[in-house]
Structure 1
């Protein structure tokens, strides 16, 4: 799918602010893919569709999670997590994306997972560090991403986990497990 066609499909589903975020994620993902040797077109497509379901009604997302037999555990955590797996499903069903690597990068861009692929890591990080993001610690992760993708990923997950813990919010187990997996595999 060509960039302009993908952007047109996604723009119809997003607010202008979220569309600008998507452009930032796309540009960041392209840079990271080029730097770390990932397929740039796959990174571009996954980045464009990463928030495809972000503004779908919660009732619709809940229905898709149940009907498609997605992990029921999702329903026990913040509904902010839902748009990623639902977005992967809808990107396939509505936009015709069939590349499983692209769909997985969309599916896991908020939670991470054990055994993240290079594409998964790039989309997760691009979403975290795109130029429109402004929060404590993001500049440090941006600098790390330029030098070591796994170190940047570890720091971004650490920041997210600490943020949730400070707010007394539960942390989705896939995120803890992804963090542990990356730390173990990168030598700490």
Structure 2
């Protein structure tokens, strides 16, 4: 990787509002705590959390173009535009910031949707994004409580919350999120 942690932090924070940067810092803190609690790699958790929203505030048309022009997951284009930044972020982390660790890149890529067969790092970053201290949505306290004793149960509750929210708003649900939730239930490791 061609950037120091401090250089990455400066570059990424410059591309988002201060409130979003506070969120990223909260996800970094939460990811390191979860990694230590569940036997993950705190350095990888910190890096993936740092990178997870790097494209969040890029123009949607630019994100769509990156996905189309680089043979990324075009299925995302048919769903909520909030999903795009994860795929684009993983791509940019590799090509613009020189991150070569596929596990870190995948944790960035799947932090919004989840996936079947989530790795420990995938789970940590996804859950940290749900429970970071700045998050305030109905049910977040319960998810935080579950995260104290079960990574899988907390993540299932997070996916349940997202799916319920989308159902209430009559929005389409990205199938991979449902599949990730089901896979967690069927293969709970705790």
Tell me the TM-score normalised to structure 2 length. 0.96
1:137 counterpart residue number: 139
Secondary structure of 1:186's match?
Answer: coil
Give the aligned partner of residue 27 of structure 1: 29
CA contact (8 A) 1:6 1:45 kept: no
* Structure 1 gaps, min length 5: none
Q: What is the SS of the residue equivalent to 2:128?
A: helix
Instruction: Give CA-to-partner distance per residue, 1:43-90, whole Å, 9 cap, x none.
Output: 000000100000111111011111122222111101110000000000
What's the offset of the Cα at 1:94?
A: 1.0
Partner Cα distance (1:112, 1:26) in 2: 18
Contact 2:152 2:189 in 1 (8 A): no
TM-score where L is the length of structure 1: 0.97
The structural deviation recorded for 1:171 is 0.5
Unaligned regions of 5+ residues in structure 2, if any?
Answer: none
Q: Are 1:4 and 2:6 an aligned pair?
A: yes
Return the offset for 1:13: 1.1
Does 6-15 or 170-179 show the bigger shift? 6-15
**Quick one: distance in 2 between partners of 1:6 and 1:33?**
21
Determine the C-alpha separation between the residues in 1 that align with 2:167 and 2:177: 13
Distance 1:25 1:161 in 2: 21
Q: Name 2:173's counterpart in structure 1.
A: 171
- The CA RMSD measured in Å over matched residues stands at 1.3
CA displacement at 1:187 relative to structure 2: 8.1
Match of 1:101 among 103, 111, 117: 103
